[in-house]
Structure 1
Amino acid sequence: MKAFWGMFARVGALVCLVVTLGMVSAPSVFAQGTASPADTLTGSSPKDALTRAKLHTELGSMYFQEGNFIVALEELTIAISINPNYAPAYSTRALVLHQIRELDSAGKDFRKALELDERDPEINNNYGWFLCETGHEKEALDYFQKAIRNPLYRTPEVAHLNAGACYAKIGDLDTAEDYIRRTLRFSPDNARALYQLAAITYKRGNYDAAREHLTKITRTREPNAETLWLLLRTERRLGDRIAENSLAAQLRRNYPDSPEYRELLKGNFE
């Protein structure tokens, strides 16, 4: 999956776009037949219900990050059954549903979350990214703005990056670059922002700048298939066949099943 580049800073640790985003499976924390911490809270007061809903939402978020989508959905559905007015449970479940391509249900959950808490910046950001990923880019931009304008938003760089990526999708490269550079002011080594900036400069034909941004990524982390593929095409444009061949070998060795490697085999360099 391509990452939603990004970034979700709600309860526990929601997944950060762009996007993108490989998850690994991990064993369940609780053995079958045992109770989770949330289930040990048996009080029936509204406060107790909210506490239990939060705990189940945190568990759902954790399982989501581990790639255990079935259990994540179970935990989040339990959270909603305990407290049907807890907006983060709907928003987090929407992220899981988006990941498994249940798009109608994901959209419904996002809208319910916003109905319950229309000002929540994380929910606005996440729904904006969902819209951008499903072909509603212009509609998505309003939600990113709502997130950015909220003074309580702890990670505005996430919405700036998502807005930049969305503007790039509709071809407004100047505005896209402006938003992405705002992200880099918050986080100078943000790999997704550097990749987006490289993609923009590549589209403009500024291959030296694209190489510079991509090389900065590779100096600090193992590049993913997307980064390798753009860097390979950049080196090809710059005429460095040695670098191009080296990157092709790296792409084949590390990501033989990736869409990028399939494009290389087809010779689809643009």
Structure 2
Amino acid sequence: MRQCFFTGVLLVAALSLSACASKRLEGDRPDENMSAEKQDAQKRASIRMQLAVGYYQQGQLKVALEEIRQVLVIAPDLVDAFSLRALIFMDMGEKQLSEDNFQHALKLAPGNSDIGNNYGWFLCLNGREKQGLVYLDSAIKNPAYTAPGKALNNAGLCSLRMKDPIGAERYFMQGLREDPGNPAINANLADVLYKRGEYKQARFYIGRVLKFDVLAADVLWLAMKIEKKLGDEAALNSLGTQLRRRHPNSKEFSLYQRGVFDE
């Protein structure tokens, strides 16, 4: 489950690829005291790691796994390789393999909040919500973590899985203080408020998401349900037109056609 709120913002959590997504291997700048052989190995591992990330992002999971295998032959203790492999196994539904790789990555880098965020969400998805929140809260409280909004969104979703909408709201509100324009957090908060019957507030937060040009079907559908409750037929029809144009084969458009707003 990769970080892409436009493919189901109400369900998708914010996962992190740690340093491997945007940087080469830590310390991969040539060292004057490093042999030419070691420099070459480091360069090859870096290239393989970047390829693995690319394949993962494209959904080519088996190819990404093979690249990671090659990386670990060259650099057996590379934390990002274990972290990425955990995410791949998570996507493949290989729970035990995913857990093993998360645990090994955390052993290599116990203070890494990107890994803690991902592992916390993994635990939440697998019926271990309380344990997951421990890891997510740790990432949130880490002053060195540069993207606390990810962990806050995940903690809110984890709270919802625990039937705790009040706790979820607290996490989402804190997330918006960190990142006010975050579309996933705005949409998730709007959903919480909608289910509580606070439709005007829900409209405010979903309105922030509607400013984006690309919208998932569930986002439009939530906005439509809010407008239905508020009795704004013009806004409802306008959103319905967008839903028909963008997602004519979605379950949300089918519900709209049948007039079923309280499914």
Query: For the superposition of Structure 1 and Structure 2, which TM-score range results when normalised by the shorter chain?
Result: 0.7 to 0.9
Residue 166 (structure 2) pairs with residue 174 (structure 1): yes
- TM-score normalized by the length of structure 1: 0.78
Q: Which deviates more from structure 2 when the two are superposed, residues 170-179 or residues 116-125?
A: 170-179
**Residue 8 (structure 1) aligns with:** 16
Report the counterpart of residue 252 of structure 1 in structure 2: 244
Amino acid of the structure 1 residue aligned with 2:213: R
Using the TM superposition, give the Cα deviation of residue 243 of structure 1 relative to its aligned residue in structure 2, in angstroms. Answer: 2.9
SS of aligned partner of 2:73: helix
Tell me if the contact between 1:11 and 1:57 (Cα under 8 Å) persists in the aligned partners.
no
Kindly indicate whether the alpha-carbon contact (under 8 Å) linking 1:201 and 1:207 is maintained by their aligned counterparts in 2: yes
SS at match of 1:11: helix
- The AA in structure 2 aligned to 1:148 is I
User: Are the equivalent residues in 1 in contact too, given 2:55–2:63 (CA < 8 A)?
Assistant: yes
Looking at structure 2, the residues matched to 120 and 140 of structure 1 have their Cα atoms a distance apart, in angstroms, of: 15
The 1:69–1:211 alpha-carbon spacing in structure 2 relative to 1, beyond 3 Å, is same
Distance 1:64 1:132 in 2: 22
- State the partner residue of 2:177: 185
Question: Is the alpha carbon distance of 1:80 and 1:196 closer, same or farther for their aligned partners in structure 2, counting shifts above 3 Å?
Answer: same
Alpha carbons 2:20, 2:80 under 8 Å: kept: no
**2:104 matched residue in structure 1:** 112
Amino acid corresponding to residue 126 of structure 1 in structure 2: N
Instruction: Find 2:85's aligned residue among 68, 93, 97.
Output: 93
| CA–CA distance in structure 1, aligned partners of residues 119 and 252 of structure 2 | 27
Q: Which one-letter code corresponds to 1:69 in the other structure?
A: L
Cα shift at 1:265 = 5.6
TM-score (structure 2 length as normaliser): 0.80
Mapped contact 1:57–1:92 kept (Cα < 8 A)? no
- The 1-side partners of 2:103 and 2:251 are apart by 32
Kindly indicate whether residue 224 of structure 2 is the aligned counterpart of residue 222 of structure 1.
Answer: no
Aligned residue pairs: how many? Answer: 242
What secondary structure sits across from 2:207 in the alignment?
Answer: helix
> Counterparts of 2:76 and 2:253 in 1: how far apart (Å)?
45
Gaps spanning 5+ residues in structure 1: where? 15-41
Where structure 2 has 5 or more consecutive residues not aligned to the other structure, the ranges are: 1-6, 23-34
What percent of counterpart residues are identical? 36
Shift in Å at residue 173 of structure 1? Answer: 2.0
Shift, 1:227, TM fit: 0.7
Query: Structure 1 residues 259 and 85, CA, compared in 2 at 3 Å: closer, same or farther?
Result: farther
> Structure 1's 217 and 111: CA in aligned 2 closer, same or farther, altered over 3 A?
same
Could you tell me which residue of structure 2 aligns to residue 34 of structure 1? none
Note the C-alpha offset of 1:75: 1.5
Note if 1:83 corresponds to 2:83.
no
1:1-270 aligned at under 5 Å gives the runs 2=8, 4-8=12-16, 10-13=18-21, 45=38, 49=41, 52-264=44-256, 267=260, 269-270=262-263
CA-based RMSD of the aligned residues comes to 2.6
Q: Which secondary structure does the structure 1 equivalent of 2:21 belong to? A: coil
**Is the CA contact 1:119–1:146 (under 8 Å) kept in the aligned structure 2?**
no
SS in 1 for 2:210: helix
Is 2:17–2:83's contact at 8 Å kept on the other side of the alignment?
no
CA drift at 1:180:
1.3
- Matched residue type, 1:97: F
